[in-house]
Structure 1
Amino acid sequence: MSTSTQHLDLGDPRALADLETFLGRARRANPDGAVRLQVVGGFVLVTVAVLEGSGLLGEGTVLGLRVAPVRPDGTDDAVDATVSFASLADRLARREASAGSSVLAVPPTTVRASWSGLTPPRDGWEPVGRLSSETVDAVAREGISQVAQGTPDGAGGHAVTALRRRVWGAMTDTVPPVAAGLAFGAHVLGFTAPGAEASVSTNGRWTRLSTARGHVLVR
């Protein structure tokens, strides 16, 4: 689906470069994936699916979320588009040709992503505990190892998908316990940092793991 070109002005070239780094990490985790860009109240919500779930309700979907302020005089308020990583990477590459630019042209061609209809709550979250970044990274590395060791050569796509859902859907033995996929998301998106902590909150069927660098959510 095609729309007219819209723009996001993050107000600082470094903020746009930081967004590019985040999207690069997300693309490595889900190469054929997409990103939803949504402007809400002077901020852009940048949402990606690190792990895609199953069923009509998208059970097991793990979303990564970054929130960045935008300049109102250089941003279209109506931005709410889901676009492919490839098209956004192309736009970012064009931006690099304009030194010092903080404006991102949103790709006019949108894509369909089953998870893009999942909208996490914006308020009403209840804190349930905290985890160290070291603990989060350890859970992620253990899961990555389990997936690698449990995927023999020649394994079919359905078997690999089932294994990944089993590993990342399992609850950790941490306090508080979380779905391992949250740790995986925080790890691969670069949300953890040595000595830092992640807060864990819940809202209905949703669980959120948050650091100063971003949020990872699962339902």
Structure 2
Amino acid sequence: MTPSSSPEVLNFAEAVSLQDLSTYIKRARRIQEQGIRLQAAGSVVAAWVPVMTPSSLNGSLPAVLGLRTMALAEASTADVTAELNSVSERLARMNPAETELSLPVSRLNAPWAAVTPPRSGWEPLGTISDDTLRSAAEEGIREISEAVPDTAGAHVVEQVRERVWGRTLDGGLPAGAAFGSFALNFLGAAETGAITTVHRVGRWMRLSSQGGFTLVRS
């Protein structure tokens, strides 16, 4: 961790956005404890969380990031990567009507936070139903659960995860992206006809669902 010289504050446009951020962090903590990146530019803050990252440069596990964007009451500039717990504790202490979030002084040097998808150049690839993504995620979770014994070592677990989440769906989308959208609750309710749009730039693909964005680099 690296200390910051002074605390930063983000003033959100609505108090409900902070409640949404708290819920988002709770979902992320079910997956990992690798932190959250809050990146403010202008009147929008992007909240990034890692869903999965390859363990090495030669690993075949796709890099999957979750993204929620929220409106700020005033133009701000910030780029902070901190522990999920530290942000969560601040949110828990706040009055539900408050809109100002003090960012943690302690920061994480997380390798995943240095992997930033491009902001422009995205080309549309089409759409995929949220039910298809949900089914792929649930099937993958079930397959991993059945394939990995409780006594399995980290190497075995990684191999199984690489095989399952590196598998591609229609259009070349890695199954790990479906897991990210499902685990972060970005997908619409089952059997409602909800649709996710898919874009690509270079090695990155972006899923835009009703609850947020999932970005994957294969």
For normalisation by structure 2, the TM-score amounts to 0.92
Once the two structures are superposed, what CA deviation does each residue of 1:155-181 show, in whole Å capped at 9, x if it has no partner? 011211221122111102x3x341001
- Partner of residue 82, structure 1: 81
Identical aligned residues as a percent: 39
SS, match of residue 143 in structure 2: helix
Determine if the alignment matches structure 1 residue 188 to structure 2 residue 183. Answer: yes
SS, match of residue 107 in structure 1: coil
For normalisation by structure 1, the TM-score amounts to 0.91
Once the two structures are superposed, what CA deviation does each residue of 1:38-68 show, in whole Å capped at 9, x if it has no partner? 1112110110001122435986210001111
Q: 1:49 to 1:99 in 2, by over 3 A?
A: closer
1:20-99 superposed matches below 5 A: 20-30=22-32, 32-56=33-57, 60-72=62-74, 77-95=76-94, 98-99=95-96
Which shows bigger deviation, 44-53 or 56-65? Answer: 56-65
Counterparts of 1:7 and 1:137 in 2: how far apart (Å)? Answer: 36
- Partner of residue 130, structure 1: 127
Counterparts of 2:8 and 2:44 in 1: how far apart (Å)? Answer: 15
Contact 2:42 2:77 (8 Å CA) reproduced: no
Which shows bigger deviation, 4-13 or 41-50? Answer: 4-13
Count of matched residue positions in the alignment of Structure 1 and Structure 2:
211
1:115-154 superposed matches below 5 A: 115-154=112-151
What's the RMSD between the two structures over aligned residues? 1.6
Name segments (4+ residues, structure 1) moved above 3 Å: 54-59
Match of 1:112 among 109, 112, 130: 109
- Partner of residue 11, structure 1: 13
Contact 1:35 1:85 (8 Å CA) reproduced: yes
SS, match of residue 29 in structure 1: coil
SS, match of residue 159 in structure 1: helix
Contact 2:188 2:210 (8 Å CA) reproduced: no
- Partner of residue 198, structure 1: 196
Amino acid at match of 1:109: S
Counterparts of 1:102 and 1:166 in 2: how far apart (Å)? Answer: 43
Counterparts of 2:35 and 2:58 in 1: how far apart (Å)? Answer: 18
Instruction: Mark the runs of 5 or more structure 1 residues left unpaired by the alignment.
Output: none
Counterparts of 2:143 and 2:9 in 1: how far apart (Å)? Answer: 42
Counterparts of 1:53 and 1:94 in 2: how far apart (Å)? Answer: 35
